[in-house]
Amino acid sequence: MKPAAGVCNRWRDHGVLLDVMTTDETCAAADPRDRVLAALAADLDAGFAELYAAYRTVVFSTALRVSGRRADAEDLTAEAFLRAYRALAGYPPARVAGLAPRAWLLTILLNVWRNDRRTVARRPASAPLDAAPDPADPAEPVDRTAERHETGRELAGLLALLPEDQRIAVVLRHVDDLPVAEIAQVLGCPVGTAKSHISRGLSRLRELHATTASSEVPDE
Amino acid sequence: MSEHDIVAGLAGLSAEPPAELLDRIAARWVKVPGPVGELYVASTDAGVAYLRTAASVDDDARRFAAQFRDRVARPLLPGTRPPAGVLPALRGGRPGDLRFDLSAVSGFEREVLEATATIPRGQVRPYAWVAREIGNPKAVRAVGTALRRNPVPILIPCHRVVRSDGATGEYVFGADTKVRLLGGEGVDLPGLADLARQGVHYLASDTTGVVCLPTCANARRITPAHRHGYRTLGQAERAGYRPCRVCRPGAA
């Protein structure tokens, strides 16, 4: 089995990632690809359990922050993993072995979301976006938690105002901590384009924050 | 807010899905005791989705999973305990309030299974009876096909559907298993075959004036002196009998 660090080096070989790469150790911890692929090769169902355990947080976080609604995020995550399983059931072993599971799952998720939105667009407008703050961390002092919540809630709301490509790129980069090359893979665009989506998205978030900071963000 | 604050704020927006989300994706399997040896049972959050005898999958969980995948196309993980209601349903021979996930089943097949689920333990009905019950009396052959595709045999008792000529007919786990299941429920198969050989498919009682299918609880109560056999329902009706409301021998 190839060490997980090899995956990082593969990205680094593109020569464009040094500015965004973290250390090999954090990368090894963040990408359980080899373990998941070995489990899938041994047994599709047991391997699926590994796949879900390894990537449920990145898939759900992306679904939540891109769609903006918790109920939608649960539906999208369930549908994406189900489609992934059905695809895996039909793949020959060589195709499974060559998979980059995280980018692959996120691509499926975003396809499901786009298709879903096209369907929803034909129906009348639904409920407003959830601000979806995270539950409080008991270890954190109360005022820090409140402050972090305020920021999180506001940013979650502001993400919805970004153009689709920028929103996805910012979520993948800064919520999910994906390397830029992987983001480009998920978006199906050149690395330079992915970088520009990320930086434009961030500046837009800062502008939006500045304009809403004086006025109020409605709480619900 | 600085760019640094925004980046730090975004990093805090990662979120865990609820623990129960996995059960909306994957089904769970368990092994339970049944009337013909152990059974593998798979269920989703909507209900029981698939059942196979251990014998039919060589008591191999992976073979069961492969069959489940072909039919239901969902991940299948080991479960900790059978879903509520499965063990009583198996012991009592009736589905009762047990919930089924029949999402992998066509509309026609679902109607066939729902009609079949009403056949009481220890009784049998002809394929043509099921076809009539679902309002499609000509679809006798299609009923047979639908029952062979029953994803939850035993729980939905397709073994209680037999041929009108007295033969027990085909079964998803083999004709022998069907005979064992019916024998275990106290169905008098040799007796039924005898009646069929004599051309008797309906039994009428001259004390109640009612005509039944031979295994109906009401038919089994008729004493020999008051029992009259008929080949067709029409003959019995012309002789003045009305069809039983329990077994509905001529359900339209």
Average pLDDT rounded to a whole number, residues B185-190: 94
Q: Under CATH, which architecture does the B23-91 domain have? A: 2-Layer Sandwich (3.30)
Instruction: Catalogue the E-assigned strands of A38-139.
Output: none
- Count of domains observed in chain A: 1
Give CATH superfamily name and number for B199-252: DNA Methylphosphotriester Repair Domain (3.40.10.10)
- Asked if residue A12 is part of any domain, the answer here is no
Average pLDDT rounded to a whole number, residues A206-219: 70
A65/B contact by beta carbon, under 8 A: yes
Quick check: B58 pLDDT over 80? yes
Average pLDDT rounded to a whole number, residues A149-164: 87
Q: Quick one: pLDDT at residue A130?
A: 58
CB pairs under 8 A between A and B: 105
**67-106 of B, contacting A, C-beta below 8 A:** 69, 73-77
Contact residues on chain B for A135, CB-CB shorter than 8 A = none
Measured CA to CA, the distance from residue B245 to residue B252 in angstroms comes to 12
User: B229 Cβ partners below 8 Å, 6+ apart?
Assistant: B195, B198, B199, B200, B202, B203, B204
- The CATH code of the domain at B105-198 is 1.10.10.10
B67–chain A nearest CA distance, Å? 12
Q: List, for residues B110-151, the tens digit of each pLDDT value.
A: 999 999 999 999 999 999 999 999 999 999 999 999 999 999
| Domain extent for A206 | 17-214
**21-60 of A, contacting B, C-beta below 8 A:** 43-46, 48-49, 52, 56-60
- Asked if residue A8 is part of any domain, the answer here is no
A89/B contact by beta carbon, under 8 A: yes
Q: Which residue of A has its CA nearest to B20?
A: A74
DSSP, collapsed to helix, strand or coil, labels residue B226 as: helix
Q: Quick one: pLDDT at residue A13?
A: 37
Q: Count Cβ atoms below 10 Å from residue B91 Cβ, excluding itself.
A: 11
Q: Quick one: pLDDT at residue A126?
A: 52
Average pLDDT rounded to a whole number, residues A54-60: 98
B19/A contact by beta carbon, under 8 A: no
Average pLDDT rounded to a whole number, residues B61-72: 95
Q: Quick one: pLDDT at residue A117?
A: 84
Contact residues on chain A for B17, CB-CB shorter than 8 A = 56-57, 59-60, 73-74, 77
Local confidence band at B235 (pLDDT 50, 70, 90 cut-offs): very high
Q: Which of B2, B3, B5, B10 to probe by mutation at the A interface, max A CB count within 10 Å?
A: B10
Instruction: Catalogue the E-assigned strands of B166-247.
Output: 202-205, 210-212, 227-230, 242-243
Q: Which of A155, A167, A205 to probe by mutation at the B interface, max B CB count within 10 Å?
A: A155
Contact B16 A60 (CB under 8 A): yes
Contact B75 A85 (CB under 8 A): yes
Contact residues on chain B for A213, CB-CB shorter than 8 A = 1
Average pLDDT rounded to a whole number, residues B182-186: 96
Number of H helices, E strands in chain A: 11, 0
Residue B34 — φ and ψ, nearest 5°?
-140, 180
Q: Which of B6, B22, B69 sits opposite A155 (nearest CB)?
A: B6
Q: Quick one: pLDDT at residue A127?
A: 52
Quick check: A45 pLDDT over 60? yes
Quick check: A148 pLDDT over 90? no
- Are A203 and B7 in contact, with CB atoms under 8 Å apart? no
Residue type, position B58, single letter: D
Local confidence band at A178 (pLDDT 50, 70, 90 cut-offs): very high
A91/B contact by beta carbon, under 8 A: no
User: Cα(first)–Cα(last) distance of chain A, in Å?
Assistant: 50
Contact residues on chain B for A176, CB-CB shorter than 8 A = 14
- Are B76 and A45 in contact, with CB atoms under 8 Å apart? yes
Q: Go through A124-142 and write b for each residue having 16 or more CB atoms within 10 A of its CB, e for each that does not.
A: eeeeebbbbbbeeeeeeee
Contact B17 A60 (CB under 8 A): yes
A128–chain B nearest CA distance, Å? 19
Residue type, position A154, single letter: E
B30–chain A nearest CA distance, Å? 15
Measured CA to CA, the distance from residue B147 to residue B161 in angstroms comes to 9
- Asked if residue A10 is part of any domain, the answer here is no
* Nearest one of B2, B32, B252, B214 to B136, comparing CA atoms: B252
Q: Quick one: pLDDT at residue A7?
A: 39
Q: Which residue of A has its CA nearest to B13?
A: A175
User: Distance between alpha carbon B223 and the CA centroid of its chain, in Å?
Assistant: 31
Question: Residue A40: which CATH number?
Answer: 1.20.140.160
B221/A contact by beta carbon, under 8 A: no
* Nearest one of A51, A86, A64, A53 to A176, comparing CA atoms: A64
Measured CA to CA, the distance from residue A173 to residue A148 in angstroms comes to 19
Contact B18 A61 (CB under 8 A): no
Q: Count Cβ atoms below 10 Å from residue B81 Cβ, excluding itself.
A: 10
Q: Quick one: pLDDT at residue B82?
A: 94
Domains in chain B: boundaries:
23-91, 105-198, 199-252
Contact A77 B16 (CB under 8 A): no
Measured CA to CA, the distance from residue A184 to residue A195 in angstroms comes to 8
Measured CA to CA, the distance from residue B196 to residue B188 in angstroms comes to 12
This prediction's pTM: 0.83
Average pLDDT over chain A, rounded to an integer = 81
Contact A78 B77 (CB under 8 A): no
Measured CA to CA, the distance from residue B36 to residue B55 in angstroms comes to 9
Residue B96 CB-half CA count within 13 A: 11
Quick check: B185 pLDDT over 60? yes
- Are B184 and B217 in contact, with CB atoms under 8 Å apart? no
Can you spell out the DSSP letters for B66-128?
HHHHHHH-S-EEE-SSPPTTHHHHHHHTS-TT--B--TTS-HHHHHHHHHHTTSPTT--EEHH
- Asked if residue A4 is part of any domain, the answer here is no
Contact A85 B62 (CB under 8 A): no
Question: In chain B, what percentage of residues exceed pLDDT 70?
Answer: 99
Q: Which residues of B are catalytic?
A: 158
Contact B9 A86 (CB under 8 A): no
Torsion of CA A149, A150, A156, A159, to 10 degrees: -150
* Nearest one of B167, B130, B165, B123 to B150, comparing CA atoms: B130
